[in-house]
Every structure is written in C-alpha cells, then in structure tokens.
C-alpha cells in the first residue's frame, strides 16, 4: 500500500514540475536578448503589427525589450530619444537589435550603432534606399519597405474604372518625401497618371489641399496623417483626420495603411508590419546563431493585403463586381 501511495505522490510531483516549474525554467533558458527600437509610438498600428511579426519568430527563444522614439507625435524630440535608446542598449547588452523605420535609422543607428558596435542589427520598415544610411555595413542589414502603389491603383480601378489621375498626400515628414521618390521611380508602371504630392503640417492645410486636389484628379492616395496638428496645435490621429479628408475629397480615396482604410478610405493593397517583423527577426536569428551579417543580404517586402471599406463603397454608390471582392478583407469605418 505504501509503495502505491509513493507511486501516486511521484505522479503528483511530476505534474507539478511539468506545469509549475517548466515555464519558469523555459524562461530562464531563453537563448538570446533582443532590443527592438521603434521610430514611432507604441499605440501606432504599424508598430503593433511589426511587434506581432517579431514575436511570432523570437518570443519563444528570446528575451525582448522594446523602445519607442515617438517621432510621429514629437519629431523634434527624436534625438534625445535616440540617446535614451543607446543607454538602454548599453544597460541591456543584447545579442541582437532590430530597428524599425527611417527616423530611428537616421537618429539612432547611424550615430550610435553602425560600424561602432559588433552586435548584429537588422533594420525594417526603411523607405529610403539602403545606401542613404550606408547599409549594408559590418553589423547592419535588413528589410526595405516599399508601398504597393501600382497594385493599389489597379485594385481601385476594379471598383471605379473611370479613375485616370491621382495625387498623393501624407503628413509632412522625411518619410513622405521618400514615398514620393518611390512613386516617381515607378511612375511608368502605373495604370493612372500621377498629378502631384502634398505634405500638410496641419489639419487646416490638409483640408485646403484636399479641396484643391478634388479639382485636379480622380483619386486621392492617402498615407498616415498621424501627428498632424489641429487648430490648437495638438497632434491628431488617423481616426480623427481621415474621415474629414475623405468627406472633403468626395471621391475615391485609397489608403496606403490598414488604419487609413478602417478610418474611411475606400480600399488598399498595403504592405504588412507582420511581414517586416517576421523577416527582420528571421534574419537576426541567423546572425545571432553565427551567420556573418555580410552573408545576410538586404531584402524587401513582397506580400500585399487587399482591403475594402464597405462603408465607403456604400457612400460612393459603388456596386463592385465579384472579381474585385475576391481575396479582399471587408471592413466598416470604425467609429
């Protein structure tokens, strides 16, 4: 009887060890430490998506710390945030680093990290040509971000075949100029004529520009307006700004980001932060496991996600053909 009781005690102990101690042991056995530095804000959907992609690859094997430079809302404070990010790097001593979007490359990677430390660093979400930042370098490679302008234009023409001209608008920022450079480099491949690009700093400027563009083109391609100022100088979100501009334009609006479509734009074929995060993390994992950075070439995003806002469809009186809906996620304008 005692042997039987001891046997059951051993079973209970094994269960306790498996479900009680193993998670803690697994946490302690994580192989690498990774620092992730974002250019933008923690509540920005793009950063959330990149983070999701990173965690899908690294969460089980790495201890990850995140730092946000908040340059969409406070670009002027970016330099100071870069100093804080480097201080965190020195304190944390990570095995690898991921840095998202252009502001953090210019303010953090180039001054503090590129060719100055041996830690492998993967960039993602970079709109500029890699050469602008001196990439690749001894310790830096990564993933370029390219918007799906051509694909989005072809997609919206399935919904509104009469579209022949378009303009581009984004909040005034270095990224806006880089996106426009991409448009100009691909202009001969577009199924519609590019008219102009606008870079408002305030909501008042954006409304005035939108009213002007309404007379100049059939379509407005709209990127994020996050951080644009209201009449009191306070930064605004896409959810606040996009519906105003969509109403002002009164015709089809393509969003280059998911949150712009969900805020009221008609449709998009947009790149995903998940792809950026997954690709950068897979590359970093190779480097941390011993592959020289020089053997990990710079790449770019290829995947595109189709989305249609049915609220905007109804407002514009569009009845789409079934082929246009195939493979597209249907959403409503978020209140």
Tokens 């804000």 locate to 41
How confident is the model at residue 6, as a pLDDT?
55
**What one-character DSSP code corresponds to residue 202?**
B
How does DSSP assign 82-146, residue by residue? HHHHHHHHHHH--SEEEEESHHHIIIIIIIIITTT--S-EEEEEE-S-GGGGT-S-SSEEEEE--
**Assigned CATH for 31-145+273-300:** 3.40.50.2300
How confident is the model at residue 15, as a pLDDT?
44
| pLDDT digits 0-9 by tens, 288-313 | 999 999 999 999 999 999 999 999 99
How confident is the model at residue 2, as a pLDDT?
53
Distance CA 81, CA 67 (A): 9
Architecture of domain 149-270+304-331: 3-Layer(aba) Sandwich (3.40)
User: Which residue pairs, CB below 8 angstroms and at least 24 apart, start in 133-138?
Assistant: 133/105, 133/106, 133/109, 134/110, 135/298, 136/293, 136/294, 136/297, 136/298, 138/293, 138/294
Strand, helix or coil at 322? helix
Domain boundaries, the chain: 31-145+273-300, 149-270+304-331
Confirm if 239 and 21 have CB atoms less than 8 A apart.
no
What dihedral do alpha carbons 221, 209, 43, 30 form, nearest 10°? 50
Residue numbers in the chain where pLDDT is lower than 70: 1-29
Q: How many helices (H) and strands (E) does the chain have?
A: 13, 13
Distance CA 277, CA 106 (A): 19
How confident is the model at residue 335, as a pLDDT?
83
Tokens 């997954």 locate to 278
Distance CA 227, CA 74 (A): 8
Distance CA 315, CA 272 (A): 27
**Angle at CA 126, nearest 5°, toward 123 and 128?**
130
Q: What is the pTM of this model?
A: 0.79
């Amino acid at each position: 009887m005692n042997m039987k009781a001891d046997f059951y005690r051993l079973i209970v102990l094994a269960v306790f060890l498996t479900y009680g101690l193993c998670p803690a042991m697994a946490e302690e056995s994580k192989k690498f430490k990774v620092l992730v530095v974002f250019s933008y804000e923690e509540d920005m959907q793009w950063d959330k998506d990149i983070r999701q992609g990173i965690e899908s690859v690294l969460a089980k094997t790495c201890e990850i710390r995140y730092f946000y430079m908040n340059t969409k809302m406070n670009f002027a404070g970016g330099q100071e945030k870069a100093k804080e990010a480097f201080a965190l790097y020195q304190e944390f001593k990570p095995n690898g680093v991921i840095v998202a979007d252009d502001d953090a490359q210019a303010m953090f990677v180039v001054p503090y990290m590129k060719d100055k430390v041996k830690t492998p660093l993967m960039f993602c979400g970079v709109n500029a040509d890699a050469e602008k930042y001196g990439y690749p370098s001894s310790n830096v490679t990564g993933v370029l971000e390219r918007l799906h302008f051509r694909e989005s234009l072809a997609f919206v023409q399935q919904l509104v075949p009469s579209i022949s001209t378009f303009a581009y608008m984004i909040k005034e920022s270095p990224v806006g100029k880089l996106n426009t450079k991409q448009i100009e480099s691909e202009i001969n491949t577009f199924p519609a004529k590019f008219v102009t690009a606008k870079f408002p700093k305030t909501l008042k400027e954006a409304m005035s520009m939108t009213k002007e563009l309404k007379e100049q083109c059939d379509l407005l391609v709209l990127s994020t307006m996050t951080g644009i100022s209201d009449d009191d100088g306070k930064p605004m979100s896409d959810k606040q700004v996009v519906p105003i501009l969509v109403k002002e334009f009164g015709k089809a609006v393509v969003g280059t980001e998911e949150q712009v479509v969900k805020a009221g734009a008609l449709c998009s074929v947009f790149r995903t932060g998940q792809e950026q995060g997954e690709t950068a993390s897979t590359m970093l994992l190779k480097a941390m496991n011993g592959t020289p950075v020089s053997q990990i070439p710079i790449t770019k995003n290829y995947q595109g996600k189709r989305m249609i806002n049915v609220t905007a469809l109804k407002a514009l009186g569009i009845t789409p053909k079934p082929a246009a809906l195939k493979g597209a996620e249907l959403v409503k304008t978020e209140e």
